[in-house]
């Protein structure tokens, strides 16, 4: 796809920011402490990155899905975990609100999220309801002007430091599966809301993930998001956009792997010459570069078609995520292989990329769920 001057300028900005601000010192600190770094989050907010594709009237920058995908890609190329910092507010955070929030809800919640003043997370997964999100057990029972929520959400990215969560709960137990589910805006400071301990993850360390536990949490009916009993379709729509972002993240990680591998293959000598001179190595580089470019073009064109309202966009987002995530894992494998023994040592960045890559084929819908979406669309 040929980028316009404006799109090239955006890419230049994202690249410049990532290469300048995501210092080795910062990345090592995130890895060692596993904690959320407020300073870099706030710096991203000042540059407008948290609201890249949020409309200007709701505090965002008014960019499109392509601008958002390029941002996540360029950030992930340097730091997959920091790409999540800028991703959440743009996709799973503001997404459900922009799809079906009332004007008042958008003003109250989207504006501070777009500006990075508040953090809003997406709480769908439960211990017993992962790929089968329709198996949600968290309940919300109406009592007068309030809903009383009970249940447990798991693997919620950003939960330990979030201000609000969009929580999916069953409001009509008589309806089966994905029906009868509603969406609520839950203030994390409400009585009865607590978080589990942050999980020790294989990768993307530095963006804490934990359970959210809801025990008789009273949520006012004005915080019901969208129509009663019909929250699930909004979750799925939000996930389309999120999937595109995660596909872009996978492209960025793979590109980071390729950059490191090309550099190393030219420097490292064995048998009297740089290892890049061996076809077994150079062909791996060629395969990586080709697959990355294929994934990138799929992501970019999907972004443009999604914004244009293409009816195929749910399928295209699933294809982007499936292909980019699997490609990213192959690229990370090859990057470690090209680095040899050194690639297994933490000082070499491909080791971190390799671990970070692994989540891309799991979260926001596993590769198998993407295959279900794609085949479902083909066979309907």
Partner 1 sequence: MKAIVCVKQVPDTSGVVAVKEDGTMDRAAMATITNHDDLAAVEAALRIKDATGCKVVVVSMGPPPAEGMLRELLAMGCDEAVLVSAREFGGSDTYATSQILAAAIKKIGVEEDDVIFCGRQAIDGDTAQVGPQIAEKLHVPQVSYVAEITVEGKSVTVKRLLEDGYMTIKVATPCLLTCVKELNPARYMSVGGIMECYQKPLEVYNYETLKDDPLIDVDTIGLKGSPTNVYKSFSPPVKGAGMMLEGADKAAVDKLVGLLDEKHII
- Greatest Cα pair distance, the chain, in angstroms, is 79
Six-digit token string for 54: 């949020």
Binding mask 13-42 for partner 1 (x = CB under 8 A): x--xx-------------------------
Q: Is 207 exposed, middle or buried (0-12, 13-18, 19+ CB in 10 A)?
A: buried
CB of 61 to partner 1, least distance (A): 4
Q: Based on CB atoms, which residue is closest to partner 1, 12 or 220?
A: 12
Q: Cβ closer to partner 1: 287 or 307? A: 307
Distance CA 56, CA 286 (A): 41
3, 32, 38, 56: residue in contact with partner 1 (rule CB under 8 A): 56
**Interface with partner 1 includes 6 (CB under 8 A)?**
yes
Size of interface with partner 1, in residues (CB under 8 A): 17
Figure out which of the listed residues 27, 45, 52, 149 binds partner 1, where binding follows CB under 8 A: 52
Say how far apart CA 166 and CA 93 lie, in whole Å: 8
- With contacts defined by CB under 8 A, name the span among 46-54, 133-141, 286-294, 354-362 that binds partner 1: 46-54
Q: Counting contacts by CB under 8 A, is residue 63 touching partner 1?
A: yes
CA distance 360 to 68: 17
**How far does the chain reach from its first CA to its final CA, in angstroms?**
30
Kindly state the smallest distance separating residue 12's Cβ from partner 1, in Å.
8
Partners of 153 in beta bridges: 212
- Separation of alpha carbons 361 and 357, rounded Å: 8
Where does residue 213 fall: left (phi above 0), alpha (psi -120 to 50 degrees), or beta otherwise?
beta
User: Is 78 among the residues that bind partner 1 (CB under 8 A)?
Assistant: no
> Does position 49 bind partner 1 by CB under 8 A?
yes
**Member of 37, 48, 83, 321 binding partner 1 (CB under 8 A):** 48
Sites of contact with partner 1 (CB under 8 A): 5-6, 9-10, 12-13, 16-17, 47-49, 52, 56, 61-63, 67
């Amino acid at each position: 796809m040929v980028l316009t001057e404006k799109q090239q300028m955006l890419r230049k900005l994202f690249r410049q920011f990532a290469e300048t601000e995501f210092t080795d010192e910062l990345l090592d600190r995130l890895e060692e402490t596993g904690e959320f770094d407020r300073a870099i989050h706030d710096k991203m907010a000042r540059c407008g990155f948290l609201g890249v594709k949020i409309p200007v009237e709701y505090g965002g920058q008014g960019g499109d899905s392509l601008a958002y995908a390029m941002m996540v890609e360029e950030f992930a190329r340097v730091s997959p975990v920091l790409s999540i910092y800028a991703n959440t507010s743009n996709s799973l955070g503001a997404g459900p609100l922009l799809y079906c929030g009332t004007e008042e809800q958008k003003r109250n919640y989207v504006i501070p999220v777009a500006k990075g003043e508040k953090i809003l997370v997406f709480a769908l997964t439960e211990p017993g309801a992962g790929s089968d999100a329709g198996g949600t057990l968290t309940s919300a029972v109406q009592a007068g002007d309030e809903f009383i929520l009970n249940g447990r959400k798991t693997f919620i990215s950003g939960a330990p430091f979030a201000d609000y969560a969009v929580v999916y709960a069953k409001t009509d137990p008589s309806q089966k599966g994905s029906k009868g589910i509603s969406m609520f805006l839950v203030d994390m400071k409400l009585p009865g809301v607590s978080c589990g301990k942050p999980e020790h993850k294989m990768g993307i360390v530095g963006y804490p993930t934990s359970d959210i536990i809801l025990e008789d949490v009273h949520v006012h009916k004005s915080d019901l998001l969208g129509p009663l009993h019909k929250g699930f379709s909004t979750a799925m729509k939000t996930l389309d956009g999120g999937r595109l972002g995660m596909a872009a993240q996978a492209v960025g990680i793979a590109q980071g792997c390729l950059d490191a591998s090309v550099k190393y293959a030219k420097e490292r000598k064995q048998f009297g010459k740089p290892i890049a001179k061996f076809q077994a190595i150079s062909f791996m580089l060629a395969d990586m570069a080709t697959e990355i470019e294929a994934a990138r073009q799929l992501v970019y064109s999907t972004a443009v078609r999604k914004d244009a309202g293409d009816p195929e966009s749910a399928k295209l987002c699933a294809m982007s995520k499936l292909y980019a995530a699997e490609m990213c894992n192959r690229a990370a494998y090859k990057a470690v292989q090209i680095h040899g023994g050194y690639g297994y040592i933490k000082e070499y960045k491909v080791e971190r990329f390799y671990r970070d890559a692994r989540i891309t084929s799991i979260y926001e819908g596993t590769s198998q769920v993407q295959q279900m979406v794609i085949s479902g669309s083909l066979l309907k």
